[in-house]
C-alpha cells in the first residue's frame, strides 16, 4: 500500500529564503503525524504544499500514490482545519459544514443531514442555525473540524489547530482529536510549535528547523534519543553538555543530552548503583513547579538541572548534594544547534 503522503526531496523557496529545503518524508495511512518546529521552520509551508496552496519549486509530492504536481487545492481529496478557522461569516454553522457537499452538488436534504451528523460528532449538535460569530473560539474550532471531516478526506490537515485555545480547552481538544482520529481512521497531519502537544497526540513526529527535517520518529524516539542539540533543546528541556563537560561527567567526548528527570538527587557520599554515573555539587536554585521541582546544581563548573518529585526534595539552596543518573541516560548527538 502506498504512503498517504510522500515528499520526495521537496523544496519551496521565496526569493532567497528556503522555506522548505529538500524535504523527504512519508506518512503512513491512518497515521497521526505531527510536524513540529519553531515558527519559520517550514512546517506550515509543508502543510500548504500538501493542501495545494503552494506548489513545490522542485521535488515531487504524492498523495496515496497520485502525483499532485500542479493539481489545484479544489481537486485534491484533502481538507484543512485552518489556524484562524476561516469559517464563512455570511453562512450559518450548518451551511459552513455543508459547504463542501454543496459544491459537490449534493442535494440539500442529504447535505443537511450529513452536516448535522458531523456537528453531532464534534458535540455541536443543534448549533447548525447559529452564525460563526455567535460561537466561542473552541466551538468555532469544532465547526472547522466538522466542516473538513464531513467531506471524508483522505488526509486531514490541521494548521496549529489548538493554538488559539486556552490550556484547559486545549487539553480537552487534544483528547477529542485523538479519539476522533482513531474512530475515523483518517490520516491526520498537524502542524504545531508546541512540543508537548506533538508528543501527546502524534504517532510520529517530524521536527523541522530551517526548512529541513532534523529528526523524525515516534514521540518516545525523539524525546529519548534526540539526534542533535536543536532537538534536545526544542523537545522538552534537557541538559545539553558540550563534549568536554560530557567527558568530565563520565560520558564520551561528544555533545550529550541528559534529561533532568533521569537525574536523582541524593545525599553527598551515598553509594551510586552499578551502571550509574554520579557527580557532586552545590544546589544553586530550587524551582517549585507543583508535582516536580527543578534543582539547578553546580558541579565542577557545569550547571545541571535535575527534575525530582517535589515531595522528595529535602534540600535548599547552598546544600551539598550528589547527583546520580544511569549511564544510558547520556545520549550522544550531533552538535548542530
Q: Which of 86, 180, 266, 272 binds another protein (CB under 8 A)?
A: 86
Q: Which of 69, 72, 268, 273 binds another protein (CB under 8 A)?
A: 72
**Does residue 99 belong to the site contacting another protein (CB under 8 A)?**
yes
- How many residues bind another protein, per CB under 8 A? 25
- Least gap, CB of 85 to another protein (angstroms): 8
Nearer to another protein, 51 or 292 (CB): 51
- Least gap, CB of 160 to another protein (angstroms): 12
Neighbour tally for 28: CB within 10 Å: 14
- Least gap, CB of 54 to another protein (angstroms): 10
User: Which residue has 514521540 as its cell numbers?
Assistant: 219
Site string for another protein, 30-59 (x = CB under 8 A): ---------------------xxx------
Backbone angles phi, psi at 142, to 5 degrees: -65, -40
Nearer to another protein, 74 or 183 (CB): 74
Bridge partners, 304 (sequence order): 297
Backbone angles phi, psi at 204, to 5 degrees: -145, 145
Nearer to another protein, 63 or 245 (CB): 63
Site string for another protein, 112-151 (x = CB under 8 A): -----------------------------------xx--x
- Least gap, CB of 115 to another protein (angstroms): 12
| Subset of 148-187 contacting another protein (CB under 8 A) | 148, 151
DSSP string, 66-128: EE-TT--GGGSSEEEE-TT----TTS-HHHHHHHHHHHHT--HHHHHHHHHHHHHHTT-TT-T
Point out which span in 96-104, 244-252, 261-269, 300-308 binds another protein (CB under 8 A).
Answer: 96-104
Beta carbons of 178 and 161 less than 8 angstroms apart:
no
Give the whole-angstrom CA distance, residue 66 versus residue 154: 12
**Does residue 82 belong to the site contacting another protein (CB under 8 A)?**
yes
> What strands lie across the sheet with 204-209, from one edge to the other?
78-81, 155-159, 187-192, 32-36, 204-209, 212-217
- Least gap, CB of 158 to another protein (angstroms): 12
Q: Which three cell numbers stand for residue 312?
A: 522528595
Backbone angles phi, psi at 247, to 5 degrees: -65, -40
Point out which span in 15-23, 84-92, 174-182, 213-221 binds another protein (CB under 8 A).
Answer: 84-92
- Least gap, CB of 45 to another protein (angstroms): 13
Q: Where are the alpha helices (DSSP H) in the chain?
A: 43-51, 93-104, 108-121, 137-149, 167-184, 195-201, 219-224, 229-234, 243-248
Nearer to another protein, 4 or 47 (CB): 47
From the list 21, 23, 51, 12, the residue with the least C-alpha distance to 159 is 51
- Least gap, CB of 156 to another protein (angstroms): 11
**Does residue 15 belong to the site contacting another protein (CB under 8 A)?**
no
Neighbour tally for 294: CB within 10 Å: 18
Binding residues (CB under 8 A) for another protein: these are 51-53, 72-74, 78-80, 82-84, 86-90, 99-100, 102-104, 147-148, 151
Amino acid at each position: 500500500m502506498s504512503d498517504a503522503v510522500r515528499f520526495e526531496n521537496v523544496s519551496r523557496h521565496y526569493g532567497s529564503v528556503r522555506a522548505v529545503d529538500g524535504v523527504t518524508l512519508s506518512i503512513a495511512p491512518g497515521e497521526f503525524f505531527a510536524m513540529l518546529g519553531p515558527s519559520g521552520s517550514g512546517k506550515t509551508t509543508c502543510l500548504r504544499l500538501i493542501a495545494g496552496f503552494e506548489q513545490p519549486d522542485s521535488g515531487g509530492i504524492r498523495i496515496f500514490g497520485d502525483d499532485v504536481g500542479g493539481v489545484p487545492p479544489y481537486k485534491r481529496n484533502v481538507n484543512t482545519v485552518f489556524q484562524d478557522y476561516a469559517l464563512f461569516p455570511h453562512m450559518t454553522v450548518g451551511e459552513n459544514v455543508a459547504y463542501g457537499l454543496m459544491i459537490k452538488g449534493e442535494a440539500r436534504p442529504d447535505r443537511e443531514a450529513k452536516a448535522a451528523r458531523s456537528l453531532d460528532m464534534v458535540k455541536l449538535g443543534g448549533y447548525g442555525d447559529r452564525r460563526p460569530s455567535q460561537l466561542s473560539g473552541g466551538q468555532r474550532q469544532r465547526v472547522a473540524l466538522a466542516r473538513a471531516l464531513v467531506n471524508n478526506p483522505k488526509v486531514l490537515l490541521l494548521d496549529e489547530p489548538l493554538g488559539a485555545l486556552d490550556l484547559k480547552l486545549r487539553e480537552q481538544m487534544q483528547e477529542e482529536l485523538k479519539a476522533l482520529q482513531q474512530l475515523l481512521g483518517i490520516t491526520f497531519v498537524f502542524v504545531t510549535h508546541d512540543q508537548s502537544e506533538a508528543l501527546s497526540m502524534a504517532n510520529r513526529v517530524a521536527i523541522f528547523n530551517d526548512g529541513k527535517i532534523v529528526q523524525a520518529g515516534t514521540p518516545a524516539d525523539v524525546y529519548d534519543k534526540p539526534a542533535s542539540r536543536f532537538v534536545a533543546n526544542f523537545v522538552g528541556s534537557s541538559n545539553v553538555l558540550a563534549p568536554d563537560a560530557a567527558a568530565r561527567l563520565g560520558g564520551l567526548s561528544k555533545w550529550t543530552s541528559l534529561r533532568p528527570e533521569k537525574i536523582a538527587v541524593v545525599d553527598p557520599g551515598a553509594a551510586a548503583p552499578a551502571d550509574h554515573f554520579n557527580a557532586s555539587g552545590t544546589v544553586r536554585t530550587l524551582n517549585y513547579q507543583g508535582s516536580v521541582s527543578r534543582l539547578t546544581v553546580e558541579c565542577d563548573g557545569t550547571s545541571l538541572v535535575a527534575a525530582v518529585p517535589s515531595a522528595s526534595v529535602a534540600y535548599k539552596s547552598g546544600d551539598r548534594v550528589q547527583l546520580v543518573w544511569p549511564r544510558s541516560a547520556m545520549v550522544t548527538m550531533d552538535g548542530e544547534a
